[in-house]
Copies of this chain bind each other. A is one copy, B any other.
Amino acid sequence: MYQVQLSACTSIRPSVMLKPRMVQQSREVVQKEQRRVDHRTRVPRNENLEKLRNGYLFPEIAMREAEHLQKYPNFKLINLGIGDTTEPIPDIITSSMVEQAQALSTLEGYRGYGPEHGNKALRKAIADVVYKGLKVKDTEVFVSDGAQCDISRLQLLLGSNVTIAVQDPSFPAYIYSGVIIGQAGEFQEETGKYWNIEYMKCGPQNNLFPNLLTTSRTDVIFFCSPNNPTGHAASRNQLEQLVEFARKNGSIIIYDSAYAAYISDDNSPRSIFEIPGAREVAIEVSSFSKFAGFTGVRLGWTVVPEELLFANGFPVIKDFNRIVYTCFNGASSIAQAGGLACLSPEGLMAIRQVIDYYKENAKILIDTFELLGLKAYGGKNAPYIWVHFPGSRSWDVFDEILEKTHVVTVPGRGFGPGGEEYVRVSAFGHREIILEASKRLKNLYR
């Protein structure tokens, strides 16, 4: 296996670091260099990393994108692939970051390390504003540099001796981080799944929600709502079922609510903690990335309720605290100042406008696909549209759309076998770009 990958890096050449200063030394030095070039450590490669079969989804897309650009240098590529925010961050938020950065150059304003788990004011604002009325304490909020990073820290918390379940399709980081920490068996080419991971199919047959009657018990259930990639925001009833299922099985739900701000539907909770009984079974991971355009600023958080206990009665929050102290050192103080501004009444109002803008984009794209006679899910409570191409392979659809319209999407297969026949289309983008994409896509089948 690794030989295939090695062949891709033939450009790696050890450089010669020593230059012989005297002629009589040169042969000896050359021999020494030869030994050096040949040197391998005796350190075994991490077998968990050896299990990772596929390239990470987004780099793979970037590669195909680059090839396409080479083939069509004069066409303007439109990227509706990676879910990256495009609209400026409202002034009121960047002003706070500017102020914080400036303060760092003053004797009075300079601050070094902050608390590893985040500034008190921000923890409190998250507890009070995001979880208003839900009895989340500021001490249960751990500020981070983003949800993806926190997922890995949660995997460090859980370790290799737990079993996990994921939605199928789902954001690949849950599975990949699980493989890296050692929770998975070998990858099965025929099924496209890793051994020992429970894939909970979330197809339209079951309203994009898992069929819990046929889902095996696992220690941990990764659950994202609104789901990336399907854009489906689970209903209250669905989440009640999920919490009940976790309680019955003694499982921990790791609930990813990174897109919660996009939910308009009253019947879809924005937090798992809206569901009675969730505090004893759930951790919630979230982020300012898609909420406030902080994808590059890097800020997120995780809530671990005090009531959540391991089988031996030990509080999960205490171990997570230890992980955060040891493996992290706090989010940037400048980003945290921005996060605090996001949660002010004015910040929230300004953010709402940006979110509405992206949701209007989503509407345009949904209409486009429906005009083509395709079934498009999501987009109403999420910035993603999940388009069904019955009977087609998703990488083929990806390639066809790219070839014919110069629009980059994400092949559903990249999110698991349950994503086959679908592509994910992102609604992030300037309006004129979305309109241009819509125009091109309408001609897809002409």
Contact = CB atoms under 8 A, between A and B. Distances in A.
A377 B88 CA distance: 51
Contacts of A47: 159, 161
Interface centre among A46, A56, A338, A428 (most CB of B within 10 A): A46
Given A14-B307, A298-B331, A306-B12, A249 B42 contact: yes
Contacts of A327: 148-149, 151-152, 177, 180
A275 B304 CA distance: 46
A227 to B, nearest CB: 19
Contacts of A113: 82, 84, 295-296
Given A36-B277, A113-B82, A311-B41, A17 B135 contact: yes
Contacts of A145: 145, 298, 329, 332
A136 B281 CA distance: 48
B296 A114 contact: yes
Nearest to A246: B41
A98 B102 contact: yes
A128 interface: no
A334 B157 CA distance: 29
A354 to B, nearest CB: 11
B335 A39 contact: no
Interface stretch (A189-197, A312-320, A361-369, A398-406): A312-320
B325 A59 contact: yes
A57 B158 CA distance: 23
A2 B312 contact: yes
Contacts of A93: 105
Contact of A36 (B15, B106, B280): B280
A101 B338 CA distance: 10
Interface in A200-247: 219-220, 246-247
The secondary structure that dominates the A interface is loop
B49 A157 contact: yes
A308 interface: yes
A40 B326 contact: no
Given A49-B157, A135-B15, A334-B101, A112 B9 contact: no
A252 to B, nearest CB: 5
B104 A101 contact: no
Contacts of A181: 156
Contacts of A182: 159-160
This protein's copies in its complex: 2
Contacts of A146: 329
Interface in A53-89: 56, 58-59, 82, 84-89
Contacts of A380: none
A43 interface: yes
Q: Range of interface residues on chain A?
A: 35 or more
Contacts of A293: 104, 110, 112
A97 B40 contact: no
A121 to B, nearest CB: 14
Given A318-B9, A319-B46, A177 B326 contact: yes
Contact of A322 (B56, B106, B111, B312): B56
A112 B91 contact: no
Nearest to A298: B332
B6 A315 contact: yes
6 contacts: A49-B159, A56-B322, A88-B107, A112-B296, A148-B329, A176-B326
Interface of A: 2, 5-6, 9, 12-15, 17-18, 36-37, 39-49, 52, 56, 58-59, 82, 84-91, 93-94, 97-98, 101-102, 104-107, 109-114, 135, 145-146, 148-149, 151-152, 156-162, 173, 176-177, 180-182, 219-220, 246-247, 249-252, 276-277, 279-281, 293, 295-298, 306-315, 317-319, 322-323, 325-335, 338, 428, 430
